Structure 1
Amino acid sequence: MTPVSTPALTGAALLLRDFSLEMTGKDTPKLEAAGESVPEGTRVNVTYLGNEDLPMRRTAARSARRLGFVPVPHVSARRLGSPRDLEEFLAALRADGTGQHVFVVGGDPAHPHGPYGDSLSVIRSGLLRKYGVRGAGISGYPEGHPQIPEAALWAALDQKAAALAEEGLTGDVITQFGFDPDAVLDWIERLRERGIGLPVRVGVPGPAGVRRLLSYATRFGVGTSASIARKYGLSLTNLMGTAGPDRFIHALAERYDPAAHGEVKLHFYTFGGLGATSAWIAGFRAQEGPK
């Protein structure tokens, strides 16, 4: 029998292979409802927010696993009150079979609740490997961070990438969402120039109202100049409208060069709209797939 050749993915379809999603602990019913539109094996990040508790986080991660996805629970360093809190969480994930991959982030609190002031201290604790974690994601900020100087962000990335290797963990970099594809790709080029070869998952906001997107952008310190907003497809004169990331993804695909940028995928921030985001991705992938 002559083997059937599979068309090579190009452009936006290449970036959309093996995309990942983000959900909160409260989004479990939405994940159940959206399950059929999300490919099996999709990585689903489960947040670690202040208004969530351990049972809620465990339920969300278990649901993702039961539905055929790969759960990626978040570990929020500054929300951990003690090493015991971290061990309790990791032990619960191991017991549930949901803890092989995690995403380690500093977290929102201005002051640590315990001994972990940043994600690096969690990685270096040795507890991830002790409890069966094989890979850990870390944060990247192509458009900067409102409270952290650029030099400090780069130094932290260097240290975290090195710490993952020292701990024998695989990893990837998940970026904060943004609206400027040129800034994202320029940042990835700088990342590669620094010798960091980890896969990058570019943060993309799911389809949402313009007012809501701008609100999140302000909250997370993402630049939203008028020119960037127009490039993305946001209308600053029609805040009642909606916008999807199609322009952003197409622009990203036009400049994406695997030889220069390495392995790049997309990570969708759903902002509570997990169903709408999943449906949008399914339609966009069908449109952009091999012809």
Structure 2
Amino acid sequence: MNMNHLMDGYSLEVSAKAIPALAKAASRIAPGSIISIPYLPNEDDEARLAAARAVRALGFTPMPHLAARRITSQAELESFIHRAVTEAGVEHCFVIAGDPATPKGPFPDSASLIESGLYERAGIKVLGVGGHPDDHPVMDVDHRWEVLEQKCQSIARRGMAPLIVTQFTFDADIALAWLATLRERGINYPVRLGVPGPAGIAVLARYAAMCGVGACASMWSKYGISLGKLLGTAGPEHFVDRLAAGLTAGHGDVRLHFFPFGGVEQSVKWISEYRSHHGLSQH
């Protein structure tokens, strides 16, 4: 696959509290890039909406997350979407189930958010859902595929464009196999493949444990990490090299989605240096 295509139009996951770091790095990020704003339990709707407004003001495309089980009522969901659209020009949203075992309101999962009908009525054009190349903490493999297919079909029926954004993984071969299966099942929507930005190895290990991402010794090795050097810093160059080498036209539209665990500026710097090293055009 053309490396430029893979690296062009990358997206970033940026929490509300990291917006100042995004502003510092903004000049090195292509205008219009998708900035995904996670639904963190320690950030309220006002913080998330302020982040979406700031992302739009910086010239990027805000994609706020909505966590089904954390939303207390349909009115709360409707208010957030309405304000996001009118105050920040939001056209992209991302839906997840969320961490609580018991829903705080009427939405038990991301499918119920999609089926609320609120997104298309508010003018949302792209609705993102999660993909899981590694194991899922609750669902088995067959159930994962079935649910993903159903959610994409529901989004498309409602006149919106499905976008699949995956959890990060450390093993490019797992990612490639997952993409191949996705396309074999006839799910041909665009994918943004989760990549951990450069960070301390201990930090990466902590996030992997929190997110249920596999990180065994062999996987660390494939990622270019020696278990004898846990105090160092690791970037995703081995992962991206292997991914780019293995991708074909049959894998469809695939771009990278960076989780900047080591900081937004560090990830943007790594991307710029990687592009330069491979002779790729800068934005």
TM-score (norm 2): 0.96
Return the match for 2:189 from 193, 198, 203. Answer: 198
Q: What code does the residue aligned with 1:19 have? A: Y
Counterpart Cα distance in 2 of 1:96 and 1:276: 30
Q: Aligned residue for 1:56?
A: 47
Counterpart Cα distance in 2 of 1:191 and 1:215: 28
The alpha carbon displacement at 1:55 in A equals 1.5
Q: Aligned residue for 2:256?
A: 266
Q: Aligned residue for 2:78?
A: 87
The alpha carbon displacement at 1:286 in A equals 2.2
The ranges of structure 1 where at least 4 consecutive aligned residues each deviate by more than 4 angstroms after the TM superposition are none
Q: Bigger shift: 244-253 or 108-117? A: 108-117
The alpha carbon displacement at 1:272 in A equals 6.0
Counterpart Cα distance in 2 of 1:289 and 1:83: 49
Return the match for 2:156 from 147, 151, 165. Answer: 165
1:286 matches 2:276? yes
Counterpart Cα distance in 1 of 2:11 and 2:231: 28
Counterpart Cα distance in 1 of 2:225 and 2:252: 29
Counterpart Cα distance in 2 of 1:122 and 1:289: 43
1:66 matches 2:57? yes
Classify 1:137/1:289 alpha carbon distance in 2 versus 1 (closer, same or farther; 3 Å): farther
Q: Check whether the contact 1:11–1:254 (CA below 8 A) recurs between aligned residues.
A: no
Counterpart Cα distance in 2 of 1:14 and 1:166: 28
> Root-mean-square deviation (CA), in Å?
1.3
Q: Check whether the contact 2:199–2:262 (CA below 8 A) recurs between aligned residues.
A: no
Q: Check whether the contact 1:12–1:249 (CA below 8 A) recurs between aligned residues.
A: no
1:219 matches 2:210? yes
Q: Aligned residue for 2:22?
A: 31
Q: What code does the residue aligned with 2:70 have? A: R
Q: Aligned residue for 1:182?
A: 173
The alpha carbon displacement at 1:152 in A equals 1.7
Q: Bigger shift: 243-252 or 271-280? A: 271-280
1:110 matches 2:101? yes
Unaligned runs of 5+ in 2: none
Count, aligned residues: 281
Counterpart Cα distance in 2 of 1:211 and 1:269: 15
Q: What's the CA shift string for 1:156-215, capped at 9, x where partnerless?
A: 101101101111100210000001111111111111111111111100000000011011
Of all paired residues, the percent bearing the same amino acid is 43
Counterpart Cα distance in 1 of 2:99 and 2:15: 15
The alpha carbon displacement at 1:12 in A equals 3.2
Counterpart Cα distance in 1 of 2:46 and 2:110: 23
Q: What code does the residue aligned with 2:118 have? A: L
The alpha carbon displacement at 1:38 in A equals 1.1
The alpha carbon displacement at 1:59 in A equals 1.2
Q: Aligned residue for 1:5?
A: none
The alpha carbon displacement at 1:290 in A equals 4.1
TM-score (norm 1): 0.93
Return the match for 1:47 from 14, 38, 51. Answer: 38
Counterpart Cα distance in 2 of 1:270 and 1:13: 20
Counterpart Cα distance in 2 of 1:215 and 1:147: 20
Q: Check whether the contact 2:128–2:164 (CA below 8 A) recurs between aligned residues.
A: yes
Q: What code does the residue aligned with 2:20 have? A: P
Counterpart Cα distance in 2 of 1:62 and 1:285: 29
Return the match for 1:254 from 233, 245, 254. Answer: 245
